[in-house]
Amino acid sequence: MHALWAIGIILLLSFFILQVCIRLTAGIQRITTRALEKFKSQVDQTDTLLVNPVRSQLEAVLGLAALAKAVDD
């Protein structure tokens, strides 16, 4: 029974250590930038389908993201 608990704990710890290593190497800024670029490309693809209120809200969100990036730099 103790061996089963030890294996379970080791698996959980190795998973969390892997997640920490991934976060450290990828970096939060890089993850955020990639997500924002993907969002921008999706907005560009659906540009013709959007009506004015939705488009203006999306442009506001993208503008805020640009301001946040400018402040970080």
Is 28 within 8 Å of 6 (Cβ atoms)? Answer: no
pTM of the entire structure? Answer: 0.38
Averaged pLDDT, 44-54: 65
Q: How far apart are CA 5 and CA 1, in angstroms?
A: 6
- Rounded Cα gap, residues 52 and 56, in angstroms: 6
Decide which of 40 and 8 is more confident.
8
In percent, how much of the chain has pLDDT > 70? 85
Ordered by start, the domain boundaries in the chain are: 2-72
